[in-house]
Copies of this chain bind each other. A is one copy, B any other.
Amino acid sequence: MVTCLIGLGSNQGDRVGNLLAAIAALGEDPAISLQAVSSFVESAPVGGPAGQPNFFNGAAILATSLPAQALLTRLLDIELRLGRVRGERFGPRTIDLDLLLYGEQVIESPTLQVPHPRLRVRRFVLAPAAEIAGEMLVPALTDAEQRVSIETLCARLPDPAPSELGLRVIMSAAAMQRHVREIQLSGRRVGVVPTMGALHSGHLSLVQEARRRSDYVVATIFVNPTQFAPHEDFTKYPRTLDADLSALSAAGCQAAFVPSAEEMYPRGATTTVDPPEVALPLEGVCRPGHFRGVATIVLKLFHLIPAEVACFGQKDFQQALVIRRMVADLNVPIEVVVCPTVREADGLALSSRNRYLSAAERERALALSRALRQAEQSIQAGETESNRIVSAMRETLAAAGITSIDYVALADPETLAECSHVEGKTVALIACRVGSTRLIDNCLLDPTIDAGSAKRGAVRA
């Protein structure tokens, strides 16, 4: 068996998806034993036509008894299967697999040069390789070169250019934990933004808030199966990984944690978080088990990314409350920041599920923010009877043809106990179906402040 270092790159289509598909193909080859896979790091293309997308690059270590040329054939075959079309040199590519090291052998043939002739100078190859095989030795190609470790080559590189320091995509829980520890040991504060992907400006506002409050922002993208009930939309939940990664990179996020379900829930894992009482009403009634799934995955993410600060959106009001309460109850050393709901110009709260809506449903969905605004206005006008406010809100929803209502409630914003009279700070919450799409929205109300200052926190349309 020979230990080999493979370089992987993609800058076309679903880039990280392509890299993962290539890794999966390597893993399925019976002649190949996959040993380790690095994180993927974004970098600007070197050479080639202008305007190409950024690459994601990574490295893998494998052991094989295949001769080098046969291994190369397997790599080319995987490239072909994943849709690689060989075009111009340095041109864009769906997937690029390079055989960088074949043990410590030096191979010079018309079709294969090992070690790869530019291995010693390419950060986008050396840095991922150092993560998984720092002690692997690179044989000398010329008399002027020495046999040195990847780690040593990496340390010899000049300081990285900004174009070499793009988003880092981490799939492994252990690598994620190690990476955050390194960042923190360098004295930087870490912020985390847990998401299920399908990112919109609401998510990006959380990244921006995390940037304000920390030096290094990690977003997580994981569609958590345990927070969906069997009849819910887990399988059809939108997955837009490549666009998500581009958006995170553009927003100044430094790392994305994108684990597989197997990575987060290995066989035999059975410990869960029994969420706080505030998880019981409202969503807790409509989505049994939902908050157990949320609390468990968020606590796991807080352990994998023990950040100083975590940002969540007010849009998921009860979720934010469940997490704040869990953090307090379990003494989790993290500051939880809840950021304002981001809305479309016409008032619709941003949600990944909005993309399920037809144009007509999109129009009807405006009734949620309209009902919340009306509640706000009626409280400003002196109304205190919850029954009357809730009835008016339900009428607004009904007038838009929304009849499948899970709840319309006025509640204490700390305990979520429903209140019959609006006296102090109150939250108005709605959950309903528009067509087959379940939407939620909420608004904080405070009858004790005047209408002018209340407007600053208001639902805008």
B331 and A303 within 8 A (CB): yes
Indicate if A159 sits at the interface (CB-CB under 8 A). Answer: no
Q: Which of A283-321 contact B (CB under 8 A)?
A: 292, 295-296, 299-300, 303-304, 306
A177 and B329 within 8 A (CB): no
Indicate if A333 sits at the interface (CB-CB under 8 A). Answer: yes
Indicate if A46 sits at the interface (CB-CB under 8 A). Answer: no
A295 touching B276 in the complex, CB below 8 Å, given contacts A304-B331, A333-B177, A333-B306: no
Indicate if A202 sits at the interface (CB-CB under 8 A). Answer: no
Nearest CB of B to A187, in Å: 9
A303 and B270 within 8 A (CB): no
Q: Which residues of B contact A299 (CB under 8 A)?
A: 330
A277 and B273 within 8 A (CB): no
Indicate if A332 sits at the interface (CB-CB under 8 A). Answer: yes
B270 and A329 within 8 A (CB): yes
Nearest residue, chain B, Cβ from A277? B270
- In Å, the complex CA distance between A173 and B332 comes to 11
Nearest CB of B to A419, in Å: 18
A271 touching B271 in the complex, CB below 8 Å, given contacts A303-B331, A304-B331: no
Q: Indicate which residue in B270, B295, B304 contacts A271 across the interface (CB closer than 8 Å).
A: B295
Q: Which residues of B contact A269 (CB under 8 A)?
A: 276, 328-329
Nearest CB of B to A38, in Å: 20
**Chain A contact patch, size range:** 20 to 34
B271 and A273 within 8 A (CB): yes
- In Å, the complex CA distance between A270 and B274 comes to 9
B330 and A300 within 8 A (CB): yes
Q: Which residues of B contact A292 (CB under 8 A)?
A: 274
Indicate if A326 sits at the interface (CB-CB under 8 A). Answer: yes
Main secondary structure, interface of A, reads helix
Nearest residue, chain B, Cβ from A271? B329
Nearest CB of B to A318, in Å: 14
Nearest residue, chain B, Cβ from A280? B270
Contact with B along A159-184 (1 / 0, CB 8 A): 00000000000000100010001000
Q: Which residues of B contact A325 (CB under 8 A)?
A: 270-271
Q: Indicate which residue in B270, B272, B303 contacts A333 across the interface (CB closer than 8 Å).
A: B303
Indicate if A275 sits at the interface (CB-CB under 8 A). Answer: yes
B331 and A177 within 8 A (CB): yes
Q: Which residues of B contact A276 (CB under 8 A)?
A: 269-271
A273 and B270 within 8 A (CB): no
- In Å, the complex CA distance between A330 and B297 comes to 8
Q: Which residues of B contact A271 (CB under 8 A)?
A: 273-276, 295, 325-326, 329-330
Contact with B along A419-440 (1 / 0, CB 8 A): 0000000000000000000000
Q: Which residues of B contact A330 (CB under 8 A)?
A: 271, 273, 296, 299-300, 303
Q: Which residues of B contact A300 (CB under 8 A)?
A: 330-331
Q: Which of A219-276 contact B (CB under 8 A)?
A: 269-276
Q: Which residues of B contact A296 (CB under 8 A)?
A: 330
Q: List 24 A-B contacts (CB under 8 A).
A: A173-B331, A177-B331, A181-B333, A269-B328, A269-B329, A270-B276, A270-B277, A270-B278, A270-B325, A270-B329, A271-B274, A271-B295, A271-B325, A272-B273, A273-B330, A274-B274, A274-B292, A299-B330, A300-B330, A303-B330, A303-B331, A303-B332, A306-B306, A306-B333
Supplied contacts A173-B331, A269-B329, A304-B333, 9 more A-B pairs, CB within 8 Å: A270-B277, A271-B276, A271-B326, A271-B330, A273-B330, A299-B330, A300-B330, A303-B330, A303-B332
